[in-house]
Structure 1
């Protein structure tokens, strides 16, 4: 086996997370590009891939309601991970691709994973017209940029085909898209489209379900986004009934947890809050896949009058993928009501 490929696979082993940050994301940048706080994101170019960086993802979640009155959630993620900087033709490409798809109901959680090599046409991303794909899983633009998308994926027991139309502007997370992840200054380039209207069809073992709802796309790339002492994260994307939205995360660290948040007004304008402004407290722990995982949380953001409980729609939304993690839709009660998504790694 290629020694570098073996090293990459070792990064996915749970035991490695403690030593080098979750999934090896705290390892040294090793000749890859690192995020620059002076860099200003440019579109449509930054919708595409950044092969000079080691890791990157296109990550979309949606909270949905079916014609049957039930709540659902879906996830679609394409990861790019590089063995060496930049691209090459054919089998010489150092780019590796992996895709995750999930569909969550109140009592079921469906998961699928696919992998591909770069350079041979099996997976990739183009910026304009925008297309992200692995095999027949696609996120494809149906208008310039990423204003309108079609989205599809399928697994052994599920599939979905959705259309998305943005109802607001892109949000640059952190400082103009430079998102700090630790007190040591580890960072990523990070932007979101948090305001898609979603329609389409989910196909479940019991048959198809027409759905509507709200979608959120995150785009992030880096080469060393975590500190070596950070063991995982708790990431929230929340949409409130009043039209406001919030992205917030806690990075768990033996040297002290690191939190960050962005408040998004109904008109789409965004404000990055300082580190520590968001308080994140687990309230209820569920037994999931043989481990304790927090599935109800208290979030407080005093600067915005926010004090809410965030509760998993399905506590058993465990991603049985190469690096396992928890991912699923949540409901929000308290000072603000709404729905959102929660991702938790490193448990």
Structure 2
């Protein structure tokens, strides 16, 4: 059995993104559950939290070449636990999945890596920080990072420098996801400057831009009636930023949350109902690729549009992920992730 088949066989509960990685809408079954008023400790919390069922290190970047061509970049490492018990070697219950992608205005390159924990194929250490799966790696001290990934049809080598503080979503990093109270621990570094080289079929491309790194972990962040999410990370030309998500429910309603981020890193959290995200147009797969996004409390009334409508992540757990433009009350760029549409 190859590695991919083994991973899928061991992860059957996480095979449908409608419930998310590791069954995000199922019971926690002995795993730890996030609690209000978290007390984060760094650098330790940059590392893995094996007592929780699902966790990710999730980086997206808006890039531009010297000729003005826009590019998007993704590097993601997911950790999923089969059981709350510890183990060593092949008995370790940790499973790892890595996704890397490069998006151009007319192409979308995707690669996936799958691994078992405990045998050196993948993992995360906090100090010094290193997240890796096979030869893909994200390393550094969270002030500066180096990020690499490679696949048959693309590769990249990027340097990142933080130009602002960490941002904590929800109430001090406790991010509520449903009316029933499901939640995650969630913080970001949205102030990375990034530069490096994309290796594409047409040749190497030097790029610069900005990057957004999300850290999140939980054991049951979705309610049973939630089927997926639409997540926006928007960077406006005036220096403000906004994170917002819309969680889709089986009753046709949505649960929303947002964080307003000023240029100096001050935050304002917004609870359910403050953010409104309405699809305006879909691609050939029926996935929304143009949105009307409103956060009236901050005067936001914008259209968010995909740079490449076909940025579908055809991975073991499929979803849409790609760079976007922002027009309207605020101009800018950002990233959009959508699940539950497969």
- What range describes the TM-score normalised by the shorter chain of this pair? over 0.9
Q: CA deviation at 1:338?
A: 0.5
Per-residue displacement from partner, 1:1-24 (whole Å, max 9, x unpaired)?
99997462243146xx3xx56762
Q: CA deviation at 1:312?
A: 0.1
Structure 2 residue runs without a partner (length 5+): none
Which residue number corresponds to residue 244 of structure 1?
240
Give runs of aligned pairs for residues 260-339 of structure 1, distance below 5 A. 260-287=257-284, 291-339=285-333
Q: Does 1:34 align with 2:33?
A: yes
Which residue number corresponds to residue 189 of structure 2?
193
For the residue of structure 2 that corresponds to 1:43, the secondary structure is coil
Give runs of aligned pairs for residues 35-114 of structure 1, distance below 5 A. 35-114=34-113
1:68 and 1:131 map into 2 onto residues whose CA distance is: 33
For the residue of structure 1 that corresponds to 2:272, the secondary structure is coil
Q: Does 1:153 align with 2:149?
A: yes
Does the CA contact (< 8 Å) of 2:163 and 2:191 recur in 1? yes
Pairwise CA RMSD of aligned residues?
A: 1.7
For the residue of structure 2 that corresponds to 1:175, the secondary structure is coil
Structure 1 residue runs without a partner (length 5+): none
Runs of 4+ in structure 1 off by over 6 angstroms are: 1-5
Q: CA deviation at 1:87?
A: 3.4
2:309 and 2:7 map into 1 onto residues whose CA distance is: 36
Does the CA contact (< 8 Å) of 2:260 and 2:269 recur in 1? yes
2:207 and 2:172 map into 1 onto residues whose CA distance is: 34
2:79 and 2:199 map into 1 onto residues whose CA distance is: 27
Per-residue displacement from partner, 1:109-135 (whole Å, max 9, x unpaired)?
000000111111110000111100001
1:23 and 1:284 map into 2 onto residues whose CA distance is: 30
For the residue of structure 1 that corresponds to 2:248, the secondary structure is strand
Which residue number corresponds to residue 253 of structure 1?
249
Which residue number corresponds to residue 229 of structure 2?
233
Does the CA contact (< 8 Å) of 1:245 and 1:263 recur in 2? yes
Q: How many residues align?
A: 337
For the residue of structure 2 that corresponds to 1:96, the secondary structure is strand
Which residue number corresponds to residue 127 of structure 1?
126
2:6 and 2:329 map into 1 onto residues whose CA distance is: 52
Which residue number corresponds to residue 200 of structure 2?
204
Relative to the length of structure 1, the TM-score reads: 0.94
Which residue number corresponds to residue 11 of structure 1?
14
Q: CA deviation at 1:155?
A: 1.3
For the residue of structure 2 that corresponds to 1:292, the secondary structure is coil
1:342 and 1:130 map into 2 onto residues whose CA distance is: 27
Q: CA deviation at 1:162?
A: 0.3
